[in-house]
Structure 1
Amino acid sequence: MPSYDSLSADQLQQITTLGSLKKSGYQPRSVKQELRDNLIKKLQSKEDVFPGIFGYEETVIPELQRAILAGHHINLLGLRGQAKTRIARLLIGLLDEWVPVVAGSELNDDPLQPLSVFAKNLLAEHGDNTPVTWMGRQDRYTEKLATPDVSVADLIGDADPIKAATLRLPYSDERVIHFGLIPRAHRGIFVINELPDLQARIQVSLFNILQEGDIQIRGFKVRLPLDLQFVFTANPEDYTNRGSIVTPLKDRIDAQIITHYPKSIEIGKRITKQEARIQDVQKGMVTTNEVIHDLVEQVAVEARASEFVDAKSGVSARLTISAYEQVVAGAERRALINGEATTYVRLGDFISAVPAVTGKVELVYEGEQEGAGIVAEKLMGKAIRTLFLNYFPDPDKAKKLKGRPSPYKTVQEWFGSGHTVDLLHDASTKDYRAVLDQVPGLRDIVTELHPSETPEHTYFLMEFLLHGLSEYSLISRNRLTAGAQFKDLLSSMFTMPSFGEDDDEDDEDEKPQRGRRR
């Protein structure tokens, strides 16, 4: 059989009839065989089969490849934000570039294996002169999100009274059928996202298609041996109250592949950098660093382990993507306000990305009592605390060193003498540096541990050091409307609430309704 992938559009246009198609040596091939053959070619040539998918190289991707080689229908099972739909869409790359279809057929009929009444009648009438067109691989992918209002008619089909009246046909005539999405996806890939959300009675309608390849429409004696590769995506049925996959349907899905979240921060960073929509003008204006990338990914790690977040719901990779986009946007906004052509990212930009976190986590009862904003700030604080040890000595251990003063002693004593520092999100670069420079010992700690850093990164680490010391309760950090205030821990107990607690003016009035907050 010739490969039509290598033919140009002009060469394909010369094959316009059934006769010319036969002369070319064309032989029908099932979708599953097509996927299998093209996968074999890619594996033999060491080509990346699923580009842009990171962290699944030793888990999901091998299982997926085995399922394709076995000719199986596939269910991708996992929590939200685990690239299930993205993987399904990448399967398009395993289809042939072009396939011939009977011109005008709504079921993408193969000229040598017609399926619909229309195609059979056309072939009977015109024979080798039957017109043939070519369909690209992108047109052979159909995707449907399962929603409660999806009906059997939407997926399979139903009798169309308007068609019957227009063509003056009785309802017993097969030509009055209006086919649904699945028959129209014949010779392609059909994806149903969030399968458990599909009503049980609708899931039952898929039994025959998966097992026998044919459809059932009301009282019609129609048998259509559909050629389809089904891919389903679903959350674990025990993790959702919205529905489940009925057991007989689950039994008919050959391969169930379990996806997972990135197993390391490095993998998470690759995904975030790839998916974040950072415009070129932002890249030219804002300089970031790996610490910020690590902090953004660590927030997701902390959220997945948090007592306030529903672990069964999961924490999508979209959290880190949105958070990083807001970090860059926050730095860009500051530069625009201050009339600066460029700016270096700050830890304050990370803190101000709370809105990207609040909508991406499903809270348990305790989390609802705390409030989404408070929980998001706590998660960010934990991320800072965790990564602080990668750059600075452990404050807890520094307290216990015998014969040596704590490296943070000078900073602590300065705050202990009544000094405060206000770091505002929108402060100009000059003001930002001036505020940090007034803290004695702060720069010394950073330059001693990280002597080769650029001036911009040094100031970033100085700010990071202040936030880290507050997380380890060596100093206090209070939330300001436009930034954060650092001061002595003891004095803060008698003034403002600490960072991460509600400081609204009407807090006392609201507490009875919202529950007491820590």
Structure 2
Amino acid sequence: MGTLRSHSSIRTPRGFPASGPSNSPGPTLLAVTYASPQPGGYAHTLGALRESGHVHRSTAAELRENLLARMGAGLPRFPGVHGFDHTVLPQLERALIAGHDVVLLGERGQGKTRLIRTVAGLLDEWSPTVTDCPIGCHPYAPTCPSCARRSTTEGDDLPVRWRHRDERYGEKLATPDTGTAELVGDVDPARLAEGRSLGDPETIHYGLLPRANRGIFCVNELPDLPARVQVALFNVLEERDLQVRGYSLRLPLDLVLVASANPEDYTSRGRIVTPLKDRFGAQVRTHYPPDLDHELALLRQEAELPEGTVVPSHLLETVARFARLVRGSNRVDQRSGVSVRLTVAAAETVAASALRRAALTGEEVPVARVCDLVGVAEPLLGKVEFETGMEGRESSILETLLRRAVAETFRARLGEADLEPLGDRFAGGGTVESGDLVGAAELLRRVGTVPGLAGLIARAAPEDVDGPPTPGLAAAVVEFALEGLYLERRLSKDTAPDGGVYRF
């Protein structure tokens, strides 16, 4: 479907796939946990769990077996991820099958975090854990000292709680002020005040990594972690134990660590220390959408438009082509990359411009037109880094690329259409003024009758035709055709800040 419309229902947070069971409490952000509903009919004591025949698997084995099962059944493995099918995903699948910790390396806005979050969908939907355990110990193999003690004293009566897969995903955005205690843990002064000794392992307040035990933990922007904190991850990745305040706690953590990072030749804020890179089992290089179709698929998936606003498919394609032209420009710093967020922000700005016009002109249904592209370049300057020497020319560079995108889309959609009848409208010296303050009905009145308009609409926006075309869609296609004729130098145009006047 080529037209994006906003939805009044609650949306999945951007970056998470819209998948999962209806009783899922939703994805977990930054390792925040919550009380999930307990599935009915599941064992709630250790004894009942044994009688049910439940088999304990490590997290790596769980991911491997579930991934292979989905591959064998032909089911989606990474929903919401586009353009990686033949490049990134095979490498990631091999790493998960091998049970490796993974670092995803790529420029900004390539979908690294989204991809990492979809990996959590490969976990079992429900998994048993010891009730009230801070690190989610499995009832069969208690890891922390507290659960080991409870298992001995309570035996088969040890209470069991079932965690949803969303609770088994933790995430931390690395920042320069992140400390070892936040990730690994520290001594809890309150427990010392209760009379416990400093060497008692139960005085430890566990950090984010041990709390992700039996799950997946993501560290975003890994190079931003201070080197001393990266060193603290050595044992977690290799020996799977913790070292807190001078004494070592043997804690065989069962987790898969996945990190994201920008290439070191661009990121000047820090780097991944060499011994830590060596401890990751796999490094996977990501990339931007390889072709226009994937760019459009991501745009349709990610853009959140104002309620009731329509962006026709030819404008979506124009925005997608614009982003690809920016990525290929030699005036843009390609080391920093041009995020897919630029594409999404451009489409949302176009939709907002259409909604603004509707409010000012009284249009019932806001439909975006070419004139709404005028306000796109300036707001996007913060998303693009230019090469040295381009100071003061940034806006004009983006505007030029935007016009090229319109021309390319015009040639692709209307290049073979018969536009002579529309051009004849100007042969006698007629003019048509358009702009972001000219409503659809008024624009159509100014243009007059256009022979073959239905055919033009079918060529320019076939994804949007569902019954008789609306005045808004008709005006959008007519203005698109006029702009294309201008860019092909078959018409002239007197430009103005809010639109322009087309003439022969």
Give TM class, smaller chain: 0.7 to 0.9
Q: 104, 108, 113: which one pairs with 2:132?
A: 104
Q: For 1:126 and 1:452, how far apart are their aligned partners in 2?
A: 72
Give the deviation of 1:392 after TM superposition. Answer: 5.3
Larger Rg: 1
Q: For 1:452 and 1:169, how far apart are their aligned partners in 2?
A: 77
Output the amino acid matched with 1:11: G
Q: TM-score, normalised by structure 1?
A: 0.80
Q: For 1:409 and 1:9, how far apart are their aligned partners in 2?
A: 67
Q: For 1:452 and 1:387, how far apart are their aligned partners in 2?
A: 15
Match of 2:203 in 1: 176
Aligned-partner SS, 2:249: coil
CA distance change for structure 1 residues 376 and 411 in 2, over 3 Å: closer, same or farther?
Answer: farther
Match of 2:398 in 1: 376
Q: Is the 8 A contact 2:414 2:456 kept in 1?
A: no
Q: For 1:68 and 1:452, how far apart are their aligned partners in 2?
A: 46
| Matching of residues 230-269 of structure 1 within 5 Å | 230-269=257-296
Q: Is the 8 A contact 2:308 2:366 kept in 1?
A: no
Aligned-partner SS, 1:230: strand
Aligned-partner SS, 1:81: coil
Q: 28, 41, 48: which one pairs with 1:11?
A: 41
Q: Is the 8 A contact 2:39 2:162 kept in 1?
A: no
Aligned-partner SS, 2:77: coil
Match of 2:168 in 1: 140
Match of 1:480 in 2: 496
| Matching of residues 56-71 of structure 1 within 5 Å | 56-71=84-99
Q: 100, 103, 107: which one pairs with 1:75?
A: 103
Match of 1:271 in 2: 298
Match of 1:187 in 2: 214
Give the deviation of 1:172 after TM superposition. Answer: 2.1
Q: For 1:449 and 1:126, how far apart are their aligned partners in 2?
A: 77
CA distance change for structure 1 residues 451 and 392 in 2, over 3 Å: closer, same or farther?
Answer: closer
CA distance change for structure 1 residues 252 and 414 in 2, over 3 Å: closer, same or farther?
Answer: farther
Q: For 1:477 and 1:308, how far apart are their aligned partners in 2?
A: 27
Match of 1:308 in 2: 331
Q: 372, 386, 389: which one pairs with 1:366?
A: 389
Q: For 1:326 and 1:451, how far apart are their aligned partners in 2?
A: 23
Give the deviation of 1:343 after TM superposition. Answer: 4.6
Output the amino acid matched with 2:308: Q
Q: For structure 1, which segment, 265-274 or 295-304, has the greater mean C-alpha deviation from structure 2 after superposition? A: 265-274
| Matching of residues 289-368 of structure 1 within 5 Å | 289-368=312-391
Match of 1:41 in 2: 69
Output the amino acid matched with 1:301: R
Q: Is the 8 A contact 2:38 2:162 kept in 1?
A: no
How big is each residue's C-alpha offset from its partner over 1:128-181, in whole Å with a ceiling of 9 and x where there is no partner? Answer: 22222221111110000011110111101122223211x212222222211111
Give the deviation of 1:458 after TM superposition. Answer: 5.8
Q: For 2:156 and 2:176, how far apart are their aligned partners in 1?
A: 46
How big is each residue's C-alpha offset from its partner over 1:240-267, in whole Å with a ceiling of 9 and x where there is no partner? Answer: 2111111111111111111111111111
Give the deviation of 1:433 after TM superposition. Answer: 2.3
Q: Is the 8 A contact 2:440 2:475 kept in 1?
A: no
Match of 1:498 in 2: none
Aligned-partner SS, 1:369: coil
Aligned-partner SS, 2:107: coil
Q: For 2:124 and 2:51, how far apart are their aligned partners in 1?
A: 19
Q: For 2:38 and 2:228, how far apart are their aligned partners in 1?
A: 46
1:425 aligns with 2:436: yes
| Matching of residues 88-127 of structure 1 within 5 Å | 88-127=116-155
Q: 48, 61, 69: which one pairs with 1:20?
A: 48
Output the amino acid matched with 2:322: V
Q: For 1:75 and 1:485, how far apart are their aligned partners in 2?
A: 53
Give the deviation of 1:90 after TM superposition. Answer: 1.0
Give the deviation of 1:211 after TM superposition. Answer: 1.3
Give the deviation of 1:484 after TM superposition. Answer: 2.9
Output the amino acid matched with 2:262: N
Output the amino acid matched with 2:168: R
Q: Is the 8 A contact 1:392 1:449 kept in 2?
A: no
Q: For 2:153 and 2:378, how far apart are their aligned partners in 1?
A: 64
Q: 461, 464, 479: which one pairs with 1:463?
A: 479
Match of 2:226 in 1: 199
CA distance change for structure 1 residues 206 and 8 in 2, over 3 Å: closer, same or farther?
Answer: closer
Q: For 1:157 and 1:479, how far apart are their aligned partners in 2?
A: 62
Match of 1:282 in 2: 308
Match of 1:150 in 2: 178
Q: Is the 8 A contact 2:216 2:256 kept in 1?
A: yes
Output the amino acid matched with 2:173: L
1:228 aligns with 2:244: no
Aligned-partner SS, 2:333: coil
1:388 aligns with 2:410: yes
Q: For 1:391 and 1:410, how far apart are their aligned partners in 2?
A: 21
Q: For 1:423 and 1:462, how far apart are their aligned partners in 2?
A: 11
Q: Is the 8 A contact 1:436 1:463 kept in 2?
A: no
| Matching of residues 414-453 of structure 1 within 5 Å | 421-437=432-448, 450=456
CA distance change for structure 1 residues 129 and 322 in 2, over 3 Å: closer, same or farther?
Answer: same
Q: Is the 8 A contact 1:335 1:342 kept in 2?
A: yes
Q: Is the 8 A contact 1:269 1:294 kept in 2?
A: yes
Q: TM-score, normalised by structure 2?
A: 0.82
CA distance change for structure 1 residues 478 and 235 in 2, over 3 Å: closer, same or farther?
Answer: farther
CA distance change for structure 1 residues 21 and 320 in 2, over 3 Å: closer, same or farther?
Answer: same
Match of 2:8 in 1: none
CA distance change for structure 1 residues 469 and 365 in 2, over 3 Å: closer, same or farther?
Answer: farther
Q: For 1:367 and 1:84, how far apart are their aligned partners in 2?
A: 30
Q: For 2:334 and 2:144, how far apart are their aligned partners in 1?
A: 48
- The percentage of counterpart residues that share the same residue type is 39
Output the amino acid matched with 1:201: R
Q: Is the 8 A contact 2:486 2:493 kept in 1?
A: yes
Aligned-partner SS, 1:52: coil
Gaps of 5+ in 1: 395-405, 489-518
- Number of aligned residues: 456
Output the amino acid matched with 2:256: Q
Hey, which of these two has a bigger chunk of helix by percent?
1
Q: For 2:109 and 2:407, how far apart are their aligned partners in 1?
A: 26
